[in-house]
Structure formats: structure tokens, C-alpha cells
């Protein structure tokens, strides 16, 4: 197996980034090394996302390009294995077999720990493709090799799957029911990541604040408990968690934002819409009023806390007044960052069958208006930061020589002139300039 190279292309959310990292760990254990590009790889893996139509379609068009590459390599006498993993596989395994028959294997987000077995099978029976989309009885985390830190900040998956069934969303179907990793396992992985160089951990889950992992005595513990345990780890300086579901934010979790200084003053709490009629049709278990109350409590716990959110415009039945309510909640909260999307009809979800689908033209108009407003709040906040001194965790090299890029406590990108030995360290920086998407600063 030696000398073989892999290339992984990741689409979608942070959970997929985490999964790709763990897949890389499996492949390294099998003797593979990372290729610098797809062309030089013997094994090419696409880790895919199914959340919106565009994301899924991109996978198929990119796969077409990879097939050409496989043919080019074959002319040079080189074998290439093409694999697809992630959420598209779970949702569209038949489509993959039909639209991309050249794919050698496809495995869902819950079964990629079986990769060694799958690759061995492929080696044995050449030319036959393998598709594995089971929701397995075993937890994949128990079968993965130990993961390495991803630099100054590492992702750590603590929870997977979602039982919320928002009517627009594919995640409950692609990632399955909610599963929480045991407390001790999370702590062990956290210690290992910190020991190997991470001073920030970002705890991941599709619905992370529904965490209910068992402790060593078999007692179920919540996210607040886990955060307090993690905060005790020496060398761990920053903790984040994402993504949270508003109705599952409880008082215990809110108090963590007061008590735990390592918890960053930034929270991604998607509201999706400001209209109670639309929230109900989305099957979100919160009204706009509930949501604002949660934020009020959170800000009381930590007045420095700033918010980000996801929004969907043009959900079926969304009228002008519903869209206005979304703009109103933006004004009320003043998000410092946000992701906003046009509603995308996903087969198999209840909203796809709802009457009153909104015209594409209106979706586009609403998205433009919303994004203009979101960007103006983002720029305002960034400008407010000019002159302030912030601790910045530098994670990568910048485009120019002698420049590093890092993140502030508020997840803003910041670049500064710094030598490479500042990489993966937290350095105090005075912010000197701000644009919508980034800050510049000088180390102090």
C-alpha cells in the first residue's frame, strides 16, 4: 500500500470538514500520503453535501471532471479509485450509481469508518462499485483511529444527527437520529487535541446543544456539564460550540456564558425567519419572541456576547409581511455575521410538497435586500473594532510574505504582519482597519 496518495475534496458544513480530517487519518493509517492535487492522487474522495440543490448538483458536475482525469491517468497506466462519501450518498445512492457509474465506492456519513474494508474489497474485485448507506448499529467514532490536531483550532464532533425535522431540511434523513458521544470519550479526544497543539476547540453537532452523552457512571449529561469539564483542561484557551437549536438553549447553558471565561463571546444561533407563521410552517419549535428572549438572557449572562444566524428567504407561503418580520429581527438582534439562503426545494422533505411555493424572482429580490442589511451590520461591527486590542489566534499564512491570518474572539478574519513562529498562537493585536469581510491589525 505504500506510496499511494489520496486527495479529499470537501463540500458542505464543518461536520464534513471534521469527517474529512478523520477519513485522512484512516487513509494515513493504511499507508497513504496526501496528494497536493487530484491529478497526482491514486484515491480521490468527494465528501459531499445535500443541503441545497446547488450543493448537490455541484458534486455531480465535479465528478464528471474527475472521471476525465481518471481516463487521462489510465492512458499513463495509472489506476485511480474514485469514492464519494457524505450526505449526497445517503440521500441519492441510486442517482450516484446512475449518473456516475464510474464511482468505485460510495459510503454515507455514518459508515466511513468501514473504509479499510471497502478499499480491500475494491482491491479484490476490480471494476465493481460498492455502495454502503446503512445507518449502522455501531457508532463510527468507536472505530476511527485517533485524530490529530488540525492546528491552533480543532473541530471536535460531540453529537451527530438531528431529530428536529424542520420541514425544509434533509439533515435528519442524511445524518440520521441524534447521537451523543460519551463524556469521557470527548474529554479524551479534547486532551489529545490540546496536547498536539490546539488551544481552541470548536465542538460540533448538527444540533449541538441537544447533547446528552453519558458520563462514566452511565448518567446522561448536558452540554453545559461538558463545557464545564472541558474548561478545566490546561492549555485549552478557547471553546466554541456550533450549531445550536434555539428551543434547546436552557438556563444551564446560558449560565455557562457567564461562568466560563474560555467560552468565546460569539454564538451561532440560527433563527431562519422572523415570522411566526413561517417558523410554524418550518416546524421550528420557537417563535420570534422566544428567540429574542433567549438572546436577552444570553446577553445578560455575558454583555460582550454577539450573535450570528442562518436565514432562509422564500420559504413556501412567505409573504411580504413575513419577509419584513425577518428584516425586523435582524434589526433587533444586529447580527455581526450571518448566512442567508434562498429556500431550495428538497425531495422527500415536507416543504417541497407545500402549496404557495415562492417565485425564484421574489426569492432573489428578498435575498438581495436581506444580504445588504446583514452586510451593513457586519461592516458596522467590524468598524467598531478599529482601535481595539483583541486576542487573535493565528492559523494560516496570508497571501503576502510575512503575513498571517487569524481569528478574533468574534470569528472575524484578521491579518497582520507576523513571523511564522506566531502560527497557532494567540497574540494580542490592535485592529487598524476594517472591511466587511476582514480586519487588519498590528501585534502589540
Nearer Cβ to ligand SAH, position 114 or 286? 286
Contact 281, 167 (CB under 8 A): yes
- Which cell numbers in the block locate residue 439? 480586519
Residue 344 vs 424, nearer CB to ligand SAH: 344
129, 174, 272, 378: which one binds ligand SAH (CB under 6 A): 272
Is 326 among the residues that bind ligand SAH (CB under 6 A)?
no
Per CB under 6 A, does 140 bind ligand F3S?
A: no
73, 114, 175, 306: which one binds ligand F3S (CB under 6 A): 175
- In the bound complex, which residue of the shown chain has the CB atom lying closest to ligand F3S? 12
Instruction: Tell me which of 45, 87, 103, 183 binds ligand F3S, using CB under 6 A.
Output: 87
Residue labelled with grid coordinates 464532533: 157
**Between 189 and 228, how does the x/- string for binding to ligand F3S read (CB under 6 A)?**
-----------------x----------------------
d(CA 212, CA 159) in angstroms, rounded, equals 9
172 interface partner picked from ligand F3S, ligand SAH, ligand SF4, none, CB below 5 to 8 A per type: ligand SF4
Q: Give the start-end residues of each E strand in 87-169.
A: 105-107, 130-132, 153-157, 159-160
100: contact with ligand SAH by CB under 6 A: no
Which helix (H) or strand (E) segment holds residue 52: the answer is: none
How far does CA 236 lie from the centroid of its chain?
A: 21
Which cell goes with 66? 474527475
**Structure-block grid coordinates of residue 283:** 416546524
CB of 272 to ligand SF4, least distance (A): 7
Min dist CB 281 to ligand SAH, Å, is 13
Size of the site for ligand SAH (CB under 6 A): 17
- Contact criterion met (CB below 8 Å) for 269 and 249: yes
Q: What residues numbered 181-220 form the site for ligand SAH, per CB under 6 A?
A: 206-207
**CA-CA-CA-CA dihedral for 188, 193, 197, 203, to nearest 10:** -120
If you search the block for the grid coordinates 511564522, which residue do you land on?
Answer: 420
Cβ-based neighbours of 136, under 8 Å, separated by 6 or more: 110, 111
User: Radius of gyration of the chain from Cα atoms?
Assistant: 22
**Taking CB under 6 A as the rule, does residue 366 contact ligand SAH?**
no
Using CB under 6 A as the binding rule, whether residue 90 contacts ligand SAH is answered as no
Q: For residues 70 and 342, which CB has a smaller minimum distance to ligand SAH in the complex?
A: 342
Q: Given the complex with ligand SF4, which of 135 and 165 has the nearer CB atom?
A: 165
User: Binding of ligand SAH at residue 316 (CB under 6 A)?
Assistant: no
Using rule CB under 6 A, residue 286 touches ligand SAH: no
- In the bound state with ligand SF4, the residue whose beta carbon lies nearer, of 314 and 441, is 314
Is 344 near ligand SAH (CB under 6 A)?
yes
State how far the Cα of 183 lies from the Cα of 234, in Å rounded to an integer: 17
C-alpha span between 324 and 28 (Å, rounded) = 51
- Compute the least distance from the CB of residue 43 to ligand SAH, in Å: 28
Grid cell locating 4: 499511494
Grid cell digits, residue 290: 422566544
Question: Of residues 41-70, which lie at the interface with ligand SAH (CB under 6 A)?
Answer: 51-52
Residue pair 220/181 in contact by the 8 Å Cβ criterion: no
C-alpha cell belonging to residue 54 = 446547488
Nearer to ligand SF4, 6 or 315 (CB): 315
Verify binding: residue 312, ligand SAH, rule CB under 6 A.
Answer: yes
In the bound state, the residue with its beta carbon closest to ligand SAH is: 310
| DSSP H helices in 161-201 | 171-174, 183-195
Enumerate residues 44-83 that contact ligand F3S by CB under 6 A.
Answer: 49-51
**Binding of ligand F3S at residue 174 (CB under 6 A)?**
yes
Pairing of strands 5-10, 438-443: unpaired
Distances (CA, A) of 391 to 193, 394, 410, 420, 428: 21, 10, 10, 17, 4
Residues interacting with ligand SAH, by CB under 6 A?
Answer: 51-52, 168-169, 171, 206-207, 243, 245, 270, 272, 310, 312, 341, 343-344, 346
Amino acid at each position: 500500500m505504500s506510496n499511494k496518495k489520496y486527495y479529499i475534496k470537501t463540500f458542505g458544513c464543518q461536520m464534513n470538514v471534521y469527517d474529512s480530517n478523520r477519513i485522512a487519518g484512516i487513509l494515513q493509517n493504511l499507508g497513504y500520503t496526501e496528494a497536493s492535487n487530484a491529478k497526482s492522487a491514486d484515491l480521490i474522495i468527494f465528501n459531499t453535501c445535500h443541503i441545497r440543490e446547488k450543493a448537490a448538483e455541484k458534486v455531480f458536475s465535479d465528478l464528471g471532471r474527475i472521471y476525465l482525469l481518471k481516463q487521462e491517468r489510465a492512458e499513463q497506466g495509472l489506476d485511480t479509485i474514485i469514492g464519494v462519501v457524505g450526505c449526497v450518498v445517503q440521500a441519492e445512492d441510486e442517482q450516484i450509481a446512475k449518473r456516475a457509474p464510474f464511482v468505485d465506492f460510495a459510503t454515507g456519513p455514518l459508515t466511513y469508518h468501514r473504509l479499510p474494508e471497502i478499499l480491500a474489497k475494491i482491491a479484490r474485485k476490480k471494476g465493481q462499485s460498492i455502495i454502503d448507506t446503512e445507518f449502522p448499529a455501531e457508532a463510527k467514532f468507536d472505530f476511527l483511529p485517533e485524530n490529530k490536531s488540525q492546528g491552533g483550532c480543532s473541530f471536535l464532533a460531540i453529537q451527530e444527527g438531528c431529530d428536529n425535522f424542520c420541514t425544509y431540511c434533509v439533515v435528519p434523513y442524511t445524518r440520521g437520529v441524534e447521537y451523543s458521544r460519551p463524556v469521557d470519550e470527548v474529554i479524551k479526544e479534547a486532551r489529545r487535541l490540546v496536547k498536539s497543539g490546539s488551544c481552541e476547540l470548536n465542538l460540533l453537532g448538527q444540533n449541538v446543544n441537544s447533547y446528552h452523552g453519558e458520563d462514566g457512571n452511565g448518567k446522561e449529561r448536558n452540554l453545559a456539564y461538558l463545557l464545564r469539564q472541558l474548561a478545566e483542561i490546561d492549555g485549552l484557551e478557547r471553546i466554541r460550540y456550533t450549531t445550536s437549536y434555539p428551543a434547546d438553549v436552557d438556563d444551564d447553558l446560558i449560565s455557562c456564558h457567564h461562568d466560563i471565561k474560555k467560552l468565546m463571546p460569539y454564538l451561532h444561533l440560527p433563527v431562519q425567519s422572523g415570522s411566526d407563521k413561517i417558523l410554524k410552517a418550518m416546524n421550528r419549535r420557537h417563535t420570534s419572541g422566544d428567540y429574542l428572549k433567549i438572546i436577552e438572557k444570553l446577553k445578560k449572562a455575558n454583555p460582550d456576547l454577539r450573535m450570528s444566524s442562518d436565514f432562509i428567504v422564500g420559504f413556501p407561503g412567505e409573504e411580504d409581511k413575513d419577509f419584513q418580520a425577518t428584516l425586523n429581527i435582524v434589526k433587533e438582534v444586529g447580527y455581526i455575521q450571518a448566512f442567508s439562503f434562498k429556500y431550495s426545494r428538497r425531495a422527500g422533505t415536507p416543504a417541497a410538497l407545500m402549496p404557495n411555493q415562492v417565485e425564484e424572482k421574489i426569492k432573489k429580490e428578498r435575498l438581495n435586500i436581506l444580504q445588504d442589511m446583514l452586510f451593513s451590520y457586519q461592516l458596522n461591527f467590524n468598524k467598531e473594532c478599529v482601535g481595539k486590542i483583541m486576542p487573535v489566534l493565528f492559523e494560516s499564512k496570508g497571501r503576502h510574505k510575512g503575513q498571517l491570518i487569524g481569528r478574533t474572539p468574534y470569528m472575524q478574519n484578521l491579518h497582520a504582519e507576523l513571523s511564522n513562529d506566531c502560527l497557532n498562537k494567540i497574540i494580542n493585536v490592535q485592529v487598524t482597519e476594517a472591511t466587511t469581510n476582514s480586519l487588519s491589525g498590528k501585534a502589540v
